[in-house]
Structure 1
Amino acid sequence: MRKFRAGLAAVFVAAAFGLMAPGPASAAAYCGIAWGSLAKADPTMSSAQVTNVRTGQQACFDRLVVDLTGNVAGYSVQYVPAVVQDGSGMPVPLRGDAALRVVVNAPSYGPSGQPTFTPSSATELANVTGYQTFRQVAYAGSFEGTTTLGLGVRARLPFRVFTLAGPDGGSRLVVDVAHHW
């Protein structure tokens, strides 16, 4: 019994002076986010048209929303070395240390070719001044039934993509980019 007490006392002393190694650390995901930064895609084509692009700030991420006239059917979102204009292939300059290409499988023009989305400035679709992650949102064009946007971000950070129904029979493609890993 005496040896047991001596051993127990030694363990308490070692713990008190920090001589024992702590157990393995487990990294908690930032804000519970565990999205990753790999490409996300749905190849389905849509009969809807793009009508608007907007952004917003949340506590843990910045949000890009693409409004459509009907159901969102497909998209491709991924980090790329450079976003290029639809049709011409010319690079779209973006602020930030990473470029996220957002392709919506829906045109920004109607069946007769009339525009359904006409940005006032193709290089600045939304004012993202003061955002933690977004640095710039640019329009890269609409060609052969798809619309491409460039999203300049602070760094290659985790993101998620999902769709929401409404309003008014339309839908929305949502891209959230985390503020941190």
Structure 2
Amino acid sequence: MPGDTDETGPPQTGDKVISAKVALNWAWPGPGRAFKAVHQNPVPIAPPPAAPLPTLYAIGAGQHPAENPPYDQLSFRFQGGFPSYELEFVPELLADGSGLPVPLPGAGAVLQVVFRGAQAHTADGTSSTVTAAPPPAIGYQALAGYAPAGDFEGVLSYGIGVGRSMPDVPETKVRVYEVEKIDRGQHLYVVAIQLDSTQWK
């Protein structure tokens, strides 16, 4: 199962995959060709003190050179349920609210990921709910890095920096896996975004 394989800690007894499916098979979600996945969750998704929306718990990154095709992966792990989301390559990443550019050093292209009906902050808004994440400058061949762009009123945005600038490779294909799993005692809903790294090999 080539889905969520970027671990954030050692496996434990009781870890298991509940379900896994391809939500987007290899395609190029270019401008005007956004990929969208809709998940209907009740609001609130759980009674207090639990968060009312699917909450980002961890981010994982990994390289998978032996797969066919080879790919780099960034996985977003939520608690509570799968949020809706959309992916689209954009000219630049802009911060929600301010509209100011968000830098993604080393990126030749920017894949914007917008989660709807999701959050990455505690109920009082004072701290992040993300317990583990790779450094922003990841430095893989296809996956250069990532950056947050917003977390407000149920809209959670990130930008993924895709590789170096390659005029002869204008379209990097993307695949998305959705994985529900028990991982180190946590019930997680994972959106694993995979970038085809064939052209960098």
TM-score for the superposition, normalised by structure 1? 0.70
Deviations 1:15-67 (Å, cap 9, x if unpaired)?
Answer: xxxxxxxxxxxxxxxxxxx7121221124465211122221111100000111
How many equivalent residue pairs? 145
What is the CA–CA distance in structure 2 between the aligned matches of 1:88 and 1:150, rounded to whole Å? 15
What is the CA–CA distance in structure 1 between the aligned matches of 2:40 and 2:157, rounded to whole Å? 14
Greater helix share, structure number: 1
1:146/1:45 CA distance change after superposition, 3 Å: farther
What is the CA–CA distance in structure 2 between the aligned matches of 1:91 and 1:126, rounded to whole Å? 16
What is the CA–CA distance in structure 2 between the aligned matches of 1:158 and 1:65, rounded to whole Å? 16
Q: Greater relative contact order (Cα 8 A, min sep 6): structure 1 or 2?
A: 2
Larger radius of gyration: 1
Partner of residue 153 from structure 1, selected from 162, 171, 174:
162
Deviations 1:72-108 (Å, cap 9, x if unpaired)?
Answer: 1311111001111122111111232110001122111
Contact 1:40 1:161 in 2 (8 A): no
For residue 54 of structure 2, what is the aligned residue in structure 1?
48
Task: Check if 1:100 corresponds to 2:111.
Answer: yes
Structure 1: unaligned runs, 5 residues or longer: 1-33
1:114/1:69 CA distance change after superposition, 3 Å: farther
For residue 139 of structure 1, what is the aligned residue in structure 2?
148
For residue 179 of structure 1, what is the aligned residue in structure 2?
197
* Identity between Structure 1 and Structure 2 (%): 26
For residue 129 of structure 2, what is the aligned residue in structure 1?
117
Letter in 1 for 2:193: V
Greater strand share, structure number: 2
Give me the CA root mean square deviation: 2.5
What is the CA–CA distance in structure 2 between the aligned matches of 1:119 and 1:97, rounded to whole Å? 29
For residue 162 of structure 1, what is the aligned residue in structure 2?
177
